[in-house]
Copies of this chain bind each other. A is one copy, B any other.
Amino acid sequence: MTNHAQVQNGVLGTKVIAQIGILVNDIESVSQAYADFFGVEKPQWSWTDPMDVAQTEFEGAPSEARSKLAFFDMGSLQLELIEPDQHPSTWRNYLNEHGEGPHHIAFVIEGMKEKVALMEARNMPLVQKGEYTGGRYAYMDTFKDLKILIELLENDKK
């Protein structure tokens, strides 16, 4: 049942991991630990945009969930620390179920709607999506097959 043209390029059109996302309870203390360990300045965390800007949807419904995010450059990819608020989200639910630790790997793709449709056709459902300044994201539930979640990132053309 495999589409060979699709498989030759891969579903995403890329294999380059752009981010690894780690869920934490206290972004201040974990950011400080990374900064101390890797010898870099502690980055300032920032909130994801509020609901009216981010247009966040979780499990198909609008959600006011937000997270604090902090980023570290680790070679060619970013390590992203995520401290979610208490509203239901993939971040909050995964943290409650699994505890702190890695949550996803992210890929920069083109054609968000098409990629989401391709993945949903492979039984990898869209879990959460939203907008950020300059682009948009989608968390896809690839855990059953790939044993980690995948985040799609689409950046607007400049």
Copy tally for this chain in the complex stands at 2
Are the C-beta atoms of B15 and A77 separated by less than 8 Å? no
Are the C-beta atoms of A24 and B102 separated by less than 8 Å? no
- How close is A115's CB to chain B, nearest CB, in angstroms? 12
Are the C-beta atoms of B22 and A79 separated by less than 8 Å? no
A73 at the interface (CB under 8 A from B): yes
A: contact size bracket? 35 or more
Q: How far is the CA of A39 from the CA of B14 in the complex (A)?
A: 9
Are the C-beta atoms of B77 and A30 separated by less than 8 Å? no
Are the C-beta atoms of B39 and A11 separated by less than 8 Å? yes
Are the C-beta atoms of B33 and A7 separated by less than 8 Å? no
Central interface residue in A24, A37, A81, by most chain B CB within 10 Å? A37
- Interface mask (A18-38 → B, CB under 8 Å = 1, otherwise 0): 101011100000100110111
**Residue contacts A-B, CB under 8 angstroms, 15 given:** A8-B39, A16-B76, A20-B20, A22-B148, A23-B147, A33-B145, A37-B122, A37-B145, A75-B76, A76-B76, A79-B105, A101-B147, A101-B148, A102-B147, A102-B148
